[in-house]
Amino acid sequence: MKIAMIHTPLWGRGGAERQILTLAIELQKLGNHVEIFTPQVNQKTCYPELLKQVTVNVLPHTSLIPFRNDLDAYFDEAVGGRNVRNQLQKIAVHQFYTSGLPAMIRLGRMIPEGFDVINNHNPPSEWAAFAAKQRLKIPIVWMCNEPPTWFATKRVGVRKKMSWPLFEVWDKTTVKYVDEIVVLSHVAEGLVRSVYDRSSTVVRTGLDLEKLQGVSGRAARARYNLENDFVLLHVANFAPNRQSNSIKALSYLSKNHSNVKLVLDGAGPQDELKALCRKLGVEDRVLFIRSKCDKDLAEVYAACDVFLFPQQITWGLAAVEAMASGKPVIVSRGCGVAEIIEDNVNGLLVDHGKPEEIAKKVETLTADPTLRNKIGKNAADYVRETLSWRKYALQMHKIFQKSTQKN
């Protein structure tokens, strides 16, 4: 089978980027011909070890404003360049959505004949898939990690109030031409139903088990001076709505525990989060880091005692990776990854927005190392037996075959 995969710019080391690249590799192992089509790719920052194993077709862009990864590379070397970089990144993101429609249409038109199915991933790749289908007359299978942001984000500002309703109409029109929609969780399934009035199929993504298991974490503890601490870990790109509950939970814990530290591993602006740390008096207990490769991240997972994931998103790959590392995870109910967690068996569940509840769960684990180790072992066993990239690829391949038989 010949599969054309479509993705938005492949900028960095995110879960969505890993997902499409690894899926392409696994589909190739099954004997398929796979090519990826994208507006832009950064060969240095977006999993170079995976990119070299796949064929990536890039749509040359002529924008006068550089994309986000170009800004990171340039301004990270400049002293005091962070604020300028953040402002230009906002312009770049706005520019992408402003120019996103013609870029996606051009991307769809560059896909040649000869493919059997289109597999698009992150929004608004469905626009490119629609353009390709009009010419090629082949089915579309959309791996919808979640619907576009304008369906969930509050419209503030003239630009959003004027342009986003037009995006919504166009987006819903293109999605009518999608043959199959695949999602990672029942949370995402509900979002797709509410936005598009469409059914979808839940297929859990895989992860790199061999890279996460059997790592000691001693190197990371030594590197960050954490040898004598009880370490909490939260892995996600920085944003106040993601890490704030972890920081607040630490503030509760710090009243009775002097050796608890919180490691925040991610990329992005830190100013608001650091301000919250100062306000709560825990700035000396929070460590901001950025793992540069899979090996570094595996060491950080192994170095922690408990992993926190108090977000509300459609999946949560970082939490699954922590489970594979044998760590007890504390996850918000309503998050997609919570669907694979049996409370107090292979993880712990808390109500969203309740940092005091997170703190109580952590205290239980600090007081009971046996329980901590048992939950971590159960988590690793569950992931090893249930989730793998090969299983994910096999399930997706069946959906591709089914879609081609219908057409």
Regarding whether 315 and 336 lie in a shared domain, the answer is yes
Tokens 């797709």 found at: 192
Residue 100: pLDDT band with limits 50, 70, 90: confident
Each residue of 22-55: pLDDT tens digit?
999 999 999 999 999 999 898 888 999 999 999 9
Regarding whether 244 and 180 lie in a shared domain, the answer is no
Beta-carbon contacts of 391 under 8 Å, excluding residues fewer than 6 positions away, are 206
**Alpha-helical runs (H) found in 121-228:** 125-136, 158-175, 186-196, 209-212, 218-223
Tell me the residue ranges of DSSP E strands in 7-121: 33-38, 55-58, 117-120
Regarding whether 262 and 121 lie in a shared domain, the answer is no
* pLDDT for the residue numbered 329: 98
Chain centre to alpha carbon of residue 79 = 30
Domain residues for the domain of 251 are 209-386
Mean pLDDT of 363-381: 97
pLDDT score of 66 more than 80 = no
* pLDDT for the residue numbered 62: 52
Regarding whether 103 and 87 lie in a shared domain, the answer is yes
Tokens 């009009």 found at: 134
Regarding whether 164 and 236 lie in a shared domain, the answer is no
* pLDDT for the residue numbered 149: 66
Tokens 């490769």 found at: 293
Q: What is the pTM (predicted TM-score) of this model?
A: 0.85
Contact 363, 259 (CB under 8 A): no
Mean pLDDT of 358-364: 97
* pLDDT for the residue numbered 64: 37
Segment among 63-67, 178-182, 267-271, 327-331 with least mean pLDDT: 63-67
Beta-carbon contacts of 303 under 8 Å, excluding residues fewer than 6 positions away, are 217, 218, 220, 221, 224, 226, 231, 233, 263
* pLDDT for the residue numbered 165: 67
112 or 162, which is more confident: 112
pLDDT score of 13 more than 90 = no
Q: What's the structural domain count of the chain?
A: 2
Regarding whether 129 and 258 lie in a shared domain, the answer is no
Regarding whether 398 and 339 lie in a shared domain, the answer is no
Q: How far are the Cα atoms of 38, 106, 137, 147, 360 from residue 125, in angstroms, in the given order?
A: 9, 11, 17, 11, 42
Mean pLDDT of the chain: 88
Regarding whether 231 and 184 lie in a shared domain, the answer is no
Torsions phi, psi for 310 (to 5 deg): -90, 25
Amino acid at 2: K
Regarding whether 149 and 278 lie in a shared domain, the answer is no
Q: What is the CATH classification number for the domain harbouring 194?
A: 3.40.50.2000
Q: Could you report how far apart the first and last alpha carbons of the chain are, in Å?
A: 15
Each residue of 172-217: pLDDT tens digit?
999 999 999 999 999 999 999 999 999 999 999 998 888 898 899 9
Q: What angle do CA 215, 219, 224 make, to 5 degrees?
A: 130
Q: What angle do CA 398, 30, 57 make, to 5 degrees?
A: 95
Each residue of 73-92: pLDDT tens digit?
433 433 334 444 444 444 34
* Token pair belonging to 326: 């044998």
Torsions phi, psi for 370 (to 5 deg): -65, -45
Regarding whether 334 and 223 lie in a shared domain, the answer is yes
Regarding whether 75 and 131 lie in a shared domain, the answer is yes
The strands making up 140-143's β-sheet, listed across from edge to edge, are 55-58, 33-38, 2-6, 117-120, 140-143, 180-183, 201-202
Regarding whether 295 and 167 lie in a shared domain, the answer is no
